[in-house]
């Protein structure tokens, strides 16, 4: 046995991991959003093929499917960011982000006169 200053363990107790409903819900919503994005992209390609074939109504469906795909991808990326924050991988931005103060002039009261 050692009785020196390096005798103790440096590791603290491990935190217990448990299933968090918020994380599970975020992961499920993110997955659904990305799957919907993929399906809407597939539909947009199909409607684009139909529109080029001469079906004029397919252009409207192509636009709607494209807009839906953009919205689903944006939602998926937002949910990924929230999931990473909920898991503790990223941290929220500091709310006290203030610009640094202007540089001080050197010298003091006598130098400023």
Residues 6+ away with beta carbon under 8 Å from 92: 85
Distance in angstroms (rounded) separating the CA atoms of residues 113 and 104: 15
Rg (CA), the chain: 28
Each residue of 24-35: pLDDT tens digit?
Answer: 999 999 999 999
Q: Name the residue with tokens 């918020």.
A: 22
DSSP code at position 90? S
Q: Name the residue with tokens 């109504």.
A: 57
**Domain limits, the chain:** 21-87
CA torsion, points 72, 78, 79, 81, in degrees to nearest 10?
Answer: 150
The answer to whether residues 51 and 58 touch, using CB atoms and an 8 Å cutoff, is yes
Round the average pLDDT of the chain to a whole number and report it: 85
Structure tokens given for 10: 């440096």
- To the question of pTM greater than 0.95 for the whole model, the response is no
Where residue 51 falls among pLDDT bands split at 50, 70, 90? Answer: very high
Each residue of 70-113: pLDDT tens digit?
Answer: 999 999 999 999 999 998 898 877 766 677 778 877 766 666 55
Q: Count of CB atoms within 10 A of residue 65's CB?
A: 21
């Amino acid at each position: 046995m050692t009785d020196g200053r390096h005798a103790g363990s440096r590791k603290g107790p491990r935190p217990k991991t448990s299933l968090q409903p918020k994380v599970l819900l975020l992961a499920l919503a993110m997955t659904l959003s990305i799957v919907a994005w993929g399906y809407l992209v597939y539909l947009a390609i199909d409607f684009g093929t139909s529109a080029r074939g001469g079906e004029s109504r397919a252009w409207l469906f192509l636009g709607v499917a494209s807009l839906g795909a953009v919205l689903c991808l944006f939602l998926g990326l937002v949910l990924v960011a929230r999931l990473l924050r909920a898991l503790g991988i990223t941290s929220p931005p500091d709310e006290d982000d203030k610009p640094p103060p202007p540089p001080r002039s050197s010298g003091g009261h006598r130098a400023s006169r």
